[in-house]
Amino acid sequence: MSGTLLVLCRFEFYEKISLEPYLQASEPTRADYTLHAVLVHSGDNHGGHYVVFINPKGDGKWCKFDDDVVSRCTKAEAIDHNYGGHDDDTNNMTVKHCTNAYMLVYIRDSELKNVLQEVTEDDIPQEGNKEVEMEEEGDKEQREQLTHEKGGLGKQGGGDGGRGGRGAAEAVNS
């Protein structure tokens, strides 16, 4: 045993919170916050897997980023399923959750529009675009070569090497 301790207590967090009661002095703008991201660990202190759930537009529509797969998910998947600890089911049996939120990102409501601005072409560095284009072209060539080697059984679609995942922009905008 390594001596590492991982605390897996149940901790419920909220989609919206107000920090008004905790301010020493009143501020001109309310201290209300909306949950933007939930970073989650599944497993134990010996290993596991990390995913992030993001509410990209602050509108309550969540996306799950799991390695190279980005998909839409429910609010329950992003929030309720990641409280950790123990929960009682309908048969009064204790069910251990193996997923725990380990970091929460909140954005002040008055700043949502400033923080969550639309990404434009000008925001994306051109060097990164060229690298992505080269990678996508290489993936396309590999798919075409595999299709040709298999006797032309048809192309795999999706632009993700046949993995079935969706790009982040596609998931966010759908």
Q: What is the pLDDT of residue 51?
A: 94
Q: How far apart are CA 128 and CA 137, in angstroms?
A: 14
Q: How many residues does the chain have?
A: 174
The closest alpha carbon to 69, from 174, 142, 167, 173, belongs to 167
Using CA atoms of 61, 66, 71, 76 in order, give the dihedral in degrees to the nearest 10.
-40
State residue 70's pLDDT score. Answer: 94
Averaged over successive runs of 10 residues, the pLDDT of the chain (174 residues) comes to 62 91 91 95 80 93 94 92 63 56 93 90 76 78 76 47 52 61
Backbone angles phi, psi at 72, to 5 degrees: -70, 150
- The predicted model scores a pTM of 0.63
At 166 the pLDDT is: 53
CA angle 148, 156, 164 (to 5 degrees): 150
What residues pair up with 105 in beta bridges, in sequence order?
A: 37
The SS3 assignment for 146 reads: helix
* pLDDT, position 105: 96
Write out the two tokens for 51: 């995913």
β-strand 86-88 against 69-73: which pairing, if any? unpaired
Sign of the C-alpha dihedral computed for residues 81, 83, 84 and 85 taken in this order: negative
The whole-number pLDDT of residue 6 equals: 57
Pairwise CA distance, residues 157 & 138, whole Å: 15
132 near 16, Cβ under 8 Å? no
Helix (H) or strand (E) holding 168: helix 168-173
Residues ≥6 apart with Cβ < 8 Å to 166 = 69, 70, 71, 158, 160, 174
